[in-house]
Structure 1
Amino acid sequence: MVNFNGALFAEDSTLLTANNRGLKYGDALFETVRCVNGTVFFWEDHYFRLMASMRILRMEIPMEFTLEFLEEEIKKTIEANALGDNSVRIRLTVFRNDGGLYTPETNNVSYVIETSALDSPFYILEDGDYEVELFKDFYVNKDMLSTLKTSNKVLHVVASVFAKENGYSNCLLVNNEKQVVESINGNLFLVKDNVIKTPPLSDGCLDGIIRKKLMEIIEATEGLELQEASISPFELQKSDELFITNTIMGIQSISKYRKKVFGNTVAKSLVGKLNAKARISQAN
């Protein structure tokens, strides 16, 4: 079952028309959130990111779009799919309503909530091979729009095709100044000695929720130093570890980039702290 503007429909129902602005112009935002046993991890952070993004895109925020309302709609959708006792991936998509060409006829919005089951209630660091390569055919722009979670992800789609065609697990994306920004599906962290570095939002990386939480964890961990600074491609092979973060997988270690093989000692220490932070968000 999917939730369309508060009403529940079968997954194969026809809900959207050919005039949907998310389809025609990428005029949509989405939040991917993780829910365990009826509790949405870091929900306040996701909610406020969505509200800020809607304001930036000049979408009209409905009066009923409160923190509590959207959380209840998410839980209603989970229950309708009999996933209340499971770990669940939720995608909440908000799009401007039909009408207009580039200039919309209205700034009013609709929403769709989709759910799917996850294997584990905890963030687990997968050990296996995870090789990446730089994707340099197209570049991420260094602007605020690149930091938003919009449905306009064609660069990431093309990079995914490149990775699949060449046998890579993922690709690292660069901006138009050739700085490494992020991966296809998450934020990037680089470890060198006791310093953990991640690109700043001004370089064009996604304003990720797990990025934010991990930065808080690193800053509070004795013996680790956080740097929010640009990363050049030359730094990648000189680092001790590279890892990717997002809301669903938590932390994914990169095992290989070109000829360099990486460890994951720091990533292993951080995934436990991330799980602890998620449990605190559940308790609250």
Structure 2
Amino acid sequence: MINFNGNITSGEDNILTQNRAFLFGDGVFETVKIVNSKILYLEDHYFRLMASMRVVRMEIPMNFTMEYLEEQILKLINESNLAISARARITVFRNDGGLYLPKTNEVSFLITASAQENSLYEINKSEYEVDLYKDFYVTKQLLSSIKTTNKMINVTGSIFAHENGLANCLLLNDSKNIVEGLQGNIFMLSGKKLVTPPVSEGCLNGIMRKQILATAKKIEGIEIAEEIISPFDLQKADELFLTNVIMGIQPITKYRKKEFTSNLAHLLVQKLNESITEN
């Protein structure tokens, strides 16, 4: 028997009573972008998911190949009439049983999908103000670099941003350096030098982060570096922008009293879209 919102029931129909992703955050996930029935950056997503499962000691099923993952996502997309432009999330969680110590390392998965308004990436031109989130800190460890179902710092940070009229917040690590935004990796342009924190600082090993690094390297005159970013560095930057695979690039227009341009962000979005339409 369980008490669910004040009602005593058998609990047999409540799938959350033993679900380890719900009870312990014992899950990992990937969110992918689909354009015209093609999963963008599929290989990168697949290998990051496999690496995440290994980090948390999940047993990877023999049939869980990249082709199988693609087939399962596209089956849902096509049956939902979302093939033109969509986002999908695959969550992998350890099967029921046990407390902190699981009874098995075998897994199940759940895929959900929703429509996206635009298939190609677009720059959001509205004001986008950010500030630091200091209530909790990201630790510099391997778990911080993968996508687990424990995202409480992102949830509480998003509530803080909403309560303070901010579009987003920047997270700090335990050394008080900038790690990332609540919904993506951060890049900083100072002069001709484009900087993003190294993964060792605790930031997510982002799929779009990888694309931006590769794309920016091809732009003449731009120097690329993975270096520590302190809060003081933000005041000296010419551009700041956030990246993830769903939104692409989101320029930051204001941090405290400092305002920023977005010229490089626009150029990078153009090149990202060119690579999508060419493939």
Q: TM-score, normalised on structure 2?
A: 0.94
1:232 aligned partner: 230
Question: Which is further off, 201-210 or 218-227?
Answer: 218-227
- 1:206-226 Cα offsets, whole Å, 9 max, x none, are 000000011011122211000
CA contact (8 A) 2:29 2:89 kept: yes
Q: Which amino acid aligns with 1:187?
A: N
Alignment of 1:122-161 (within 5 A): 122-161=120-159
Q: What's the counterpart of residue 8 of structure 1?
A: none
Alignment of 1:255-270 (within 5 A): 255-270=253-268
2: CA distance between counterparts of 1:82 and 1:15? 29
Q: What is the SS of the residue equivalent to 1:119?
A: coil
Alignment partner, residue 5 of structure 1: none
2: CA distance, partners of 1:244 / 1:135: 15
Could you tell me how far apart the structure 1 residues matched to 2:38 and 2:104 are?
34
Native 8 Å contact 1:42 1:278 kept in 2: no
Q: Aligned residue for 1:61?
A: 60
Which residue of structure 2 lines up, in the alignment, with residue 100 of structure 1?
98
Instruction: Output the CA distance in 2 between the equivalents of 1:17 and 1:251.
Output: 35
Out of 167, 190, 194, the residue aligned to residue 169 of structure 1 is 167
Deviation at 1:237, TM superposition (A): 1.2
The answer to whether the 8 A contact 1:129-1:255 is kept is: yes
Length-normalised TM-score, structure 1: 0.92
Give the one of 89, 95, 104 matched to 1:91.
89
Paired residue secondary structure (1:104): coil
Contact 2:16 2:22 in 1 (8 A): no
Distance across 2 between alignment mates of 1:83 and 1:187: 27
- Amino acid in the other structure paired with 1:129: E
Q: Offset at 1:278?
A: 3.0
Structure 2 CA distance, aligned partners of 1:52 and 1:138? 26
Q: What percent identity do the matched residue pairs reach? A: 52
Contact 2:157–2:169 (Cα < 8 Å) also in 1: yes
Structure 2 distance, partners of 1:217, 1:114, is 30
**CA distance in 2 between partners of 1:186 and 1:57 (Å):** 22
- Where does the alignment leave 5 or more consecutive residues of structure 1 unmatched? 1-13
Give 1:15 deviation, angstroms.
Answer: 7.8
Equivalent position to 2:213, from 206, 212, 215: 215
Unaligned 5+ runs, structure 2: 1-12
Deviation at 1:17, TM superposition (A): 2.9
Give every structure 1 segment of 4 or more consecutive aligned residues whose post-TM-superposition deviation is greater than 4 Å.
Answer: none
Equivalent residue, structure 1, for 2:69: 70
C-alpha separation between the residues in 2 aligned to 1:105 and 1:96? 9
Cα deviation digits, residues 40-59 of structure 1 (max 9, x gap) = 00000000000011111110
Task: Give aligned pairs, total.
Answer: 267
267-276 or 89-98: bigger deviation: 267-276
Aligned to 1:200: 198
Q: Secondary structure at the match of 1:93?
A: strand
**Cα offsets for 1:134-186 (capped at 9, x unmatched):** 00111000000000011110011000000000000000000000000000000
Name the aligned partner's letter for residue 31 of structure 2: T
